[in-house]
Amino acid sequence: MPNVSTNGIRLAYERTGHGERVLMIMGQAAGGNVWSMYQVPALESAGYEVITFDNRGVLPSEVPPGDYSLADLVTDTMGLIEALDAGPCRLVGTSMGALIAAQVAIRRPDLVSCCVLMAMRARSDAIRRAVSAGEKALARGGAKLPPAYDASISVLQMFSPVTLNDDAAISAWLDIYEMSAARRAAASGQQAIDLTSDRRDELRAVPVPCRVIAFSDDLMCPPHLCAEVAEAIPDCDYVEIGACGHLGYLERPDEVNAAIIEFLSKK
């Protein structure tokens, strides 16, 4: 993969298609190649140039030692846009990637024309704070879960009952998560990123048009918390897609792609 140097590290990226530029920003411990399953082909067909990349800590991008901050990844992303001469571009992010997108828009509005923010929360409630604290305690203690167990817990958190109750579908996802356990472990520096603070006041400073996309069965970023993001951002609408969990863009790709493209086509 090609790469660029930004913020003192090397980021791997891919750039495909022709047209107005769309930068896709993936969530915690996941690779940019996940977008290539459904979103990249749909956006290319709709006439966009699509840029995907791996955040710091996710191979083949650089994996610097130590803990990372949200500001690190935001600065990385701004540097990537500048290095590729891609701004102003449309940003599409999910989960942590959506939070990065919003922060880039606040800090460098000249690089951003609009944002699609999927599965993003502006704050955490009691149960999400507890999950985050537990995961960080495991990491600090050096605990390493067996890959099969780690996969089962991840799948329970990420998918909707529709998928969880489909034995054939969920068996495939369990295999995928078990095989990718080592890659997720390599991204341990991302676990220190603060994803629980209340950022509603910050989001009032987002200066570009946005669309929040929530997934009805999302346990990590449930619709009521996603709706708070849409309420905080001055120019923002809200779409909720049913029968999918935190990875709704994989469970319901046609509906998600339609919601992304319909919004981008107006901006």
Name every residue whose Cβ is closer than 8 Å to that of residue 64 and which is 6 or more positions away in sequence.
8, 9, 56, 57, 189
- 125 annotated active-site: no
Q: Which amino acid is at 257?
A: N
Name every residue whose Cβ is closer than 8 Å to that of residue 43 and which is 6 or more positions away in sequence.
17, 22, 50, 257, 260, 261
Q: Which amino acid is at 96?
A: M
d(CA 25, CA 28): 10
* Prior bond of 60 cis (ω within 30°): yes
Selecting among 95, 113, 124, 160, the annotated active-site residue is 95
Name residue 115's beta-bridge partners. 91, 210
What are the tokens at 18? 């022709």
d(CA 185, CA 38): 25
d(CA 202, CA 45): 35
Name every residue whose Cβ is closer than 8 Å to that of residue 67 and which is 6 or more positions away in sequence.
189, 191, 192
- 95 annotated active-site: yes
Selecting among 72, 76, 217, 218, the annotated active-site residue is 218
- 246 annotated active-site: yes
Report, as residue numbers or ranges, the catalytic residues: 95, 218, 246
